Structure 1
Amino acid sequence: MADPDEHPADLPECPSAQDGGLLPTELRAWMVLLAATGAVEQRLRSVVKERLDVSHDEFLVLCLLAEQPEGLRMTRIAELLGRPKTRLTYQIACLQHAGLVTRKSVCGDKRGVEVSLTDKARALLREASEELASTVAEALDHVMGPDQRDAVYGLLPGLAEK
């Protein structure tokens, strides 16, 4: 594992970002995205546990719900996160026990369950958002070369300013 204190400028350019390799451009780009995702997840885990006292997977559920004021059906959350429904049921139960989400039945569908954030969860996310955003920016700076970083920052306005 790379030294987290190593300065990004000292790192070699990401091999998958170099032209002339065996892989087509699309697959090289996918590999850069995977590396970036892995680096962000690795760094976020400790921050999320410390600031929100939830697992990384539970944090992903909170993030999805944060963008949905009306909540989401559990089947949709499972689909968006690519998680088995049984695992999601456990995660939602943990989040509900912590007072971070509520569950309610969907009108007209006996099996449908909709999940929403509580005010407590919204406040926690607001309080932690600056540190979480900085963690993402630092992780991306650590694993990506300047061209890849510029491309990602183009997709995420404001991230480059962190």
Structure 2
Amino acid sequence: MTDDGRPLEPAQLRAWMAFVSASHLIDHEVERQLKRDGGLSHPEFEVLLRLRGAEGNRMRMSDLAREVMISKSRLTYQVTQLERAGLVRRTGCESDRRSIWAELTPEGSAALDKVRPGHRRVVREALIDMLSAEELALFGDALTRVADRLRAR
């Protein structure tokens, strides 16, 4: 464990500031593309994407919140917006009355299909194409370690 009161060294500060700037700028680019191509916010896109990848295109709301890494109340808001747009529906869980399923509708699947080509293009232009194969592997490994450590908390 490091002493969290110590100032960051110049190289550490540079890495941190570069990460913060790049992550905000990439998120902004992704958000613009999703809004332009499909009227979706980045969190809404993430919900649709997670549901598409789930068995039966549905997940319990509590599991979905963990996957998307947002609070249950924020997820409820996002799913309500998606439900109003006809992209997701909520249903009760037969085996556990306390649980609610969020399920991707055919319209939600079509909305995801509409924005994914542009999303892939933005991700490639903003990040992937800027890195060599070696840098991409190191970057992926490093961020996976960070995410794993924070999830364990």
**TM, length-normalised to structure 1:** 0.66
Per-residue deviation at 1:81? 2.1
Q: Deviation at 1:39?
A: 4.0
1:140 to 127, 149, 153: 127
Task: Name which of 24, 33, 55 aligns with 1:47.
Answer: 33
Q: Structure 2 vs 1, CA of residues 150 and 41 (structure 1 numbering), >3 Å: closer, same or farther? A: same
After TM superposition, the structure 1 = structure 2 runs for residues 71-90 of structure 1, keeping only pairs within 5 Å, are 71-90=58-77
Give the Å deviation of 1:95. 0.3
CA distance in 1, matches of 2:72, 2:137: 36
Shift in Å at residue 83 of structure 1? 1.2
Shift of 1:22: 5.7
Query: Structure 2: 5+ residue runs without aligned partners?
Result: 1-9, 141-153
Query: In the alignment, is the contact (CA less than 8 A) between 1:39 and 1:140 conserved in 2?
Result: no
- Picking from 107, 110, 116, the partner of 1:129 is 116
- The one-letter code of the counterpart of 1:112 is S
The runs of 5 or more residues in structure 1 that have no matched partner are 1-20, 154-162
Cα distance in 2, alignment partners of residues 109 and 150 from structure 1: 41
Deviation at 1:87, TM superposition (A): 1.3
Indicate conservation of the 8 Å contact 1:51/1:128, yes or no: yes
Q: What number of residue pairs does the alignment pair up?
A: 129
Q: The residue matched to 1:110 in structure 2 has which SS?
A: coil
Residue 148 of structure 1 deviates from its aligned partner by 2.1
What is the CA–CA distance in structure 2 between the aligned matches of 1:46 and 1:119, rounded to whole Å? 24
Q: Which amino acid aligns with 1:55?
A: S
RMSD: 2.9
Name the structure 2 match of 1:59. Answer: 45
Match of 1:105 in 2: 92
Q: 1:5 maps to which residue?
A: none
**Structure with more helix by fraction:** 2
TM-score by length of structure 2 reads 0.69
Considering Cα pairs closer than 8 Å and 6+ residues apart, tell me whether 1 or 2 has the greater RCO.
1
Runs of 4+ in 1 over 4 A off after TM superposition: 30-37, 150-153
C-alpha distance in 2 between matches for 1:126 and 1:118: 12
Deviations along 1:109-154, one digit per CA (max 9) or x if unpaired, are: 2220011111111112223222111111011057x5434246569x
